């Protein structure tokens, strides 16, 4: 997620402090009453602006490791450095103002409004009233919630996904260089989770924070991580590498087990809609006169049109036959658009959307939901084919290397034998 591109027409990046390095040096946590450590001697170097995912089985020490970074849990031994600073002995309250923290079920204070929740840390560090107010608006806008609508609401009046968005807005409010996230999307439904993940990717394109993100969903790890640390019990690092490397070259059976079956298909999570061809598609809008829609469908080369609403968002797929059947009324014609993807969605998301839609394509939308183009089954199949082919070649190379090593060994043994 560390690319710096921004979309044409998208809002310029918010003024933001970008990420700082994080170094964990021999971090250990012994909980009282337990002779064996929950986290044992973990060392990890995280680059500035990088998104690192901690994955591993339940109870392996992910949350403990994460909470030692902002010292919600005090390490028993070891050091933590953020940027140039050793923060192991720093006042933890001060430290936490520089580190955003978002958790499952958002952790919002129920008796405070959305605005009050987001304003919490900026107020604490003494920002002026007007600066805090502007920041709250900016943050709500950043996470895709209309400030006028959501500002004064209480968390209970928000959906799970909206609560998570406010949780992220709160974590980012004081513009910390570092963001810690502990299964932040663990409690929402799969579709909302996909969208929240896409939004986090978009945010990170703009903000370049250093993010440490805990999950036990390996697909989520592949989608979000620049690097993934696969952890065993006591936070021992089994492998710490890019998603590609872990998928194509897991170090041992533990990691393979975590990757699970279908590594090639999982790589669909690594390619984004932005990386494949987004095709044009003929459109009309709801306000177009019926006759011109007819002309476009009837006379033109197209069997199908996409109807956009007044804000240019995909609304309905219209086929030639639909118009005949609807006998002159556009209101009844066509099929509502069920699912759309953004440029940050993965090919996996796109394939899912295409497969659930009988038309064999999915509409791609921009930041405000506006129509950009379509990705179709053909494009997706080509990408899948390329991925599988690349995997096949890697496997063959690997096989050759093994054979060479093996024959080297045989030669050595034979030569060794000849000496005797």
Q: Are the C-beta atoms of 56 and 62 separated by less than 8 Å?
A: yes
> Any idea what the Cα angle at residue 227 is, between residues 224 and 233, rounded to 5°?
100
For residue 179, the minimal CB distance to ligand ATP (Å) is 17
Candidate list 20, 53, 63, 278; residue touching ligand ATP; CB under 6 A: 63
Q: Residue 38 interacts with ligand ATP (CB under 6 A)?
A: yes
Q: Based on CB atoms, which residue is closest to ligand ATP, 9 or 59?
A: 59
Q: Based on CB atoms, which residue is closest to ligand ATP, 49 or 225?
A: 225
Burial of 261 (0-12, 13-18, 19+ CB in 10 A): exposed
Residue 305 site contact among ligand ATP, Mg ion, none (CB < 5 to 8 Å, cut-off depends on kind): none
Element (H, E) at 14: none
Candidate list 31, 382, 397, 410; residue touching ligand ATP; CB under 6 A: 31
Count of beta carbons in the 10 Å neighbourhood of residue 251: 14
Per-residue mark of binding to ligand ATP, 198-237 (x: CB under 6 A): ------------------x---------------------
Q: Residue 215 interacts with Mg ion (CB under 5 A)?
A: no
Q: Based on CB atoms, which residue is closest to ligand ATP, 179 or 231?
A: 231
> Any idea what the Cα angle at residue 345 is, between residues 237 and 354, rounded to 5°?
125
Candidate list 46, 60, 82, 341; residue touching ligand ATP; CB under 6 A: 60
DSSP string covering 258-279: HH-S-HHHHGGGTSBGGGS--B
Q: Based on CB atoms, which residue is closest to ligand ATP, 215 or 346?
A: 215
Q: Residue 64 interacts with Mg ion (CB under 5 A)?
A: no
Kindly tell me the sign of the dihedral angle through the C-alpha atoms of 363, 365, 368, 370: negative
Kindly identify the residues of this chain, within the stretch 136-195, that bind ligand ATP according to CB under 6 A: none
Candidate list 63, 65, 283, 379; residue touching Mg ion; CB under 5 A: 63
CA 270 – CA 26 distance, rounded (Å): 31
Q: Are the C-beta atoms of 24 and 42 separated by less than 8 Å?
A: yes
Q: What is residue 85's three-state secondary structure?
A: strand
Residue 70 site contact among ligand ATP, Mg ion, none (CB < 5 to 8 Å, cut-off depends on kind): none
Interface positions with Mg ion (CB under 5 A): 63
Residues near ligand ATP (CB under 6 A) are 31, 34, 38, 56, 58-64, 216
């Amino acid at each position: 997620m560390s690319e710096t591109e921004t979309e044409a027409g998208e809002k310029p990046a918010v003024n933001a402090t970008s990420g700082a390095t994080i170094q964990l040096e021999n971090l250990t946590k012994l909980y009282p009453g337990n002779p064996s450590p929950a986290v044992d001697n973990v060392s990890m170097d995280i680059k500035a602006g990088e998104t690192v995912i901690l994955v591993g089985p339940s109870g392996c020490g992910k949350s403990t490791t994460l909470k030692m970074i902002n010292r919600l849990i005090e390490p028993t031994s070891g050091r933590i450095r953020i940027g140039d600073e050793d923060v192991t002995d720093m006042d933890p309250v001060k430290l936490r103002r520089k580190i955003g923290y978002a958790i499952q079920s958002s952790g919002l204070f129920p008796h405070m409004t959305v605005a009050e929740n987001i304003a919490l840390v900026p107020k604490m560090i003494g920002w002026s009233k007007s600066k805090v107010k502007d920041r709250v608006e900016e943050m709500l806008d950043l996470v895709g919630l209309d400030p006028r609508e959501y500002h004064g609401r209480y968390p209970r009046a928000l959906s799970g996904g909206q609560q998570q968005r406010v949780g992220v807005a709160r974590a980012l409010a004081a513009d910390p260089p570092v963001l810690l996230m502990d299964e932040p999307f663990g409690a929402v439904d799969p579709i909302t989770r996909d969208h929240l993940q896409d939004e986090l990717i978009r945010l990170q394109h703009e903000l370049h924070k250093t993010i440490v993100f805990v999950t036990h969903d390996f697909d989520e790890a592949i989608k979000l991580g620049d690097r993934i640390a696969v952890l065993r019990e006591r936070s021992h690092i089994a492998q710490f590498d890019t998603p590609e490397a872990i998928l194509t070259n897991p170090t041992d059976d533990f990691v393979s087990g975590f990757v699970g079956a279908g590594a090639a298909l999982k790589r669909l999570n690594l390619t984004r809609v932005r990386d494949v061809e987004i095709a044009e598609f003929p459109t009309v809008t709801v306000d177009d006169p019926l006759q011109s829609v007819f002309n476009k469908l009837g006379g033109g080369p197209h069997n199908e049109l996409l109807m956009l609403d007044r804000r240019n968002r995909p609304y309905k797929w219209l086929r030639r036959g639909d118009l005949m059947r609807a006998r002159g009324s556009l209101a009844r014609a066509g099929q509502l658009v069920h699912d759309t993807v953004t440029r940050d969605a993965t090919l996996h998301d796109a394939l899912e959307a295409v497969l659930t839609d009988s038309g064999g394509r999915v509409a791609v939308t921009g930041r405000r939901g506006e129509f950009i183009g379509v990705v179709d089954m053909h494009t997706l199949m080509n990408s899948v084919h390329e991925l599988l082919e690349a995997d096949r070649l890697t496997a063959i190379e690997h096989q050759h290397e093994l054979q060479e090593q093996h024959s080297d060994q045989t030669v050595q043994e034979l030569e060794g034998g000849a000496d005797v």
